[in-house]
Amino acid sequence: QLPTGLYKKVLVILHDCILPYMNEPTLMIDFLTVAYGIGGAISLLALNGLFILIHQHNLEYPDFYKKLYSLLDPSIYHVKYRARFFHLVDLFLSSSHLPAYLVAAFIKRLSRLALTAPPEALLMVIPFICNLFRRHPACRVLVHRPNGPEGMSEDPYIMEEEEPSESRALQSSLWEIQSLQNHYHPDVAKAAAVLNQSLSEIEDDISGLLELSAYELFDKEVKKKAIDVPLEFEQVRGLFGKKNDIFAEHFTLD
């Protein structure tokens, strides 16, 4: 049993500074699988080490995607390790052999959680979802479903279901992204509107968006050049601008 702070420090450097120098990295299987099952930030940080063991040392983890799916909660858009987590999720969902129901469940859960996410996270997750559609065309039914969200009395997707195969994501539609097309931030609304058109075959590069911060968004808006917008097409006369204004006879705006 390690203190939480030490647990996090070990997991942050494990994949980079410990596993490559071990004669038998598979000895860390139990440590990493237990850490992955703890939940929260510790589970997110255990993903890096688990990825190396799965990818390079043939670790079999039957419930890996079920556990990964359960990690998707409102905090993933706010945690310190958001960039690392989404980088790894992108890798795990890159295989074209994944079943459509599994990818659709991830798309729906990410979209539902996006309804309460900050703009900097939305500008990352919307292209992320678009890339999933490019890799897995069978999931595009979520966007192109006949009647769409208007034709549904209620969303069949079960958000509380822990098993992706039982979530009924493929029977749903992506009304959450349609809602984001009316987002108060114009960049978010523009990004969400991409799904109204046919997606290109080339994936979006999200590497530069993973660590986007609220400060960077604010700084970008502040540095925009102001555009002079004409607010009045008729020259003001008098105090109230009316043609036959009695005040104009006695007062001027000079």
210-239 tens-digit pLDDT: 878 888 888 888 887 777 777 766 666 556
pLDDT at residue 251 is higher than 80: no
Residue range 119-136, pLDDT digits in tens: 999 999 999 999 999 999
Residue range 45-60, pLDDT digits in tens: 888 888 888 878 877 7
Mean of the per-residue pLDDT values for the chain? 83
Between helix 119-135 and helix 82-92 the angle, nearest 10°, is 10
pLDDT at 182 (0 to 100)? 92
* CB-count exposure of residue 230 (10 Å: 0-12, 13-18, 19+): exposed
Per-residue pLDDT band at 248 (split at 50, 70, 90): low
Per-residue pLDDT band at 20 (split at 50, 70, 90): confident
* Cα–Cα distance, 70 to 67 (Å, whole number): 5
Per-residue pLDDT band at 108 (split at 50, 70, 90): very high
Residue range 174-185, pLDDT digits in tens: 899 989 999 999
* CB-count exposure of residue 111 (10 Å: 0-12, 13-18, 19+): buried
pTM: 0.76
Per-residue pLDDT band at 36 (split at 50, 70, 90): confident
Q: Which two tokens stand for residue 70?
A: 């359960």
Specify the residue for token string 């969200």.
Answer: 149
Mean of pLDDT values over 22-51: 82
* Residue of 64, 60, 109 whose CA lies nearest to 91: 64
pLDDT at residue 164 is higher than 60: yes
